[in-house]
């Protein structure tokens, strides 16, 4: 069941690992699915497994209550956060949580990534906020993540990492990679001495263009 979607997650996990957006067993991925009766399901990565060794059969499918309906592994320890985001944001179908270096540096410093580069603004929908700190795997972290993601496709988790969301697994990946790239630019720009921000008016125009005209629409 859902073999295509499982392969997408395995492939993306390896991509994230090879690009050093995730390290070892940290970070997690999920997809929102529908069964033949239209019931919502969640396909998630297993807890504490090396991504370079993770196979399709290691993935776990759960229902809206968080009960396992397929799979023999323990699901990701951040399951509460994934389910809370899906239940709070209707138009997304994929979530990626990474611990990438530059973005996590901003998260540790509690520094919002401002509206300074076009691609990040267009895809994320504005600045990248820092969610309030809570212990991993808790209801509090889930709630803070949802708050930071309001009208955004990505956020920083304070002292923790990055959360990227999207309509597809590729969209969620774009959120994570753009946040990491923008965090790196922010740090380098601060070293150079000045960060020039784009105006809210220009940002709104770029987001409107990206959502309605950019690409092969």
198: tokens are 């784009």
In this prediction, residue 216 carries a pLDDT of 65
State residue 214's pLDDT score: 74
Q: Give the C-alpha distances (Å, rounded to integers) separating 157 from 5, 21, 133, 136, 140.
A: 26, 15, 7, 10, 12
pLDDT of the residue at 158? 98
HSE-up (13 A, CA, CB side) for residue 24: 4
Residue 78: active-site member: yes
pLDDT of 156 reads 98
pTM: 0.94
Q: What is the distance between the alpha carbons of residues 24 and 50, in angstroms, rounded to a whole number?
A: 5
pLDDT in tens, the chain (217 residues): 799 999 999 999 999 999 999 987 789 999 999 988 889 999 999 998 888 888 999 999 999 999 999 999 999 999 999 999 999 999 999 999 999 999 999 999 999 999 999 999 999 999 999 999 999 999 999 999 999 999 999 999 999 999 999 999 999 999 999 999 999 999 999 999 989 999 999 888 988 888 887 766 5
Choosing from 3, 40, 70, 78, the catalytic residue is: 78
Q: Which pLDDT belongs to residue 37?
A: 85
Q: What pairs with residue 155 in β-bridges? A: 163
Cβ atoms within 10 Å of 110's Cβ, excluding its own: 12
Distance CA 66, CA 84 (A): 11
Decide if 131 contacts 148 (C-beta within 8 A). yes
* Predicted pLDDT of residue 206: 84
To 10 degrees, what angle do helices 3-18 and 169-192 make? Answer: 20
**First-to-last CA distance in the chain?**
31
């Amino acid at each position: 069941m859902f073999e295509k979607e499982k392969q997408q997650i395995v492939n993306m996990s390896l991509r994230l690992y090879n690009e050093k957006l995730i390290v070892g067993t940290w970070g997690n991925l999920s997809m929102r699915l529908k069964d033949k009766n239209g019931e919502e399901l969640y396909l998630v990565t297993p807890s504490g497994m090396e991504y370079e060794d993770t196979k399709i059969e290691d993935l776990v499918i759960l229902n809206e209550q968080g009960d396992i309906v397929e799979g023999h592994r323990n699901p990701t320890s951040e399951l509460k956060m994934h389910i809370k985001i899906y239940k709070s944001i209707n138009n997304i179908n994929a979530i990626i949580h990474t611990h990438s270096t530059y973005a996590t540096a901003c998260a540790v410093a509690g520094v919002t990534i401002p509206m300074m580069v076009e691609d990040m603004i267009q895809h994320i929908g504005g600045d990248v906020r820092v969610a309030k700190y809570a212990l991993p795997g808790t209801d509090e972290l889930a709630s803070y993540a949802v708050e930071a993601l309001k009208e955004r496709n990505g956020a920083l988790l304070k002292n923790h990492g990055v959360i990227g969301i999207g309509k597809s697994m590729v969209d969620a990946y774009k959120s994570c990679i753009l946040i990491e790239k923008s965090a790196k630019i922010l740090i380098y720009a601060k070293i150079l001495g000045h960060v020039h921000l784009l105006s809210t008016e220009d940002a709104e125009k770029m987001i409107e263009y990206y959502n309605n005209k950019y690409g092969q629409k």
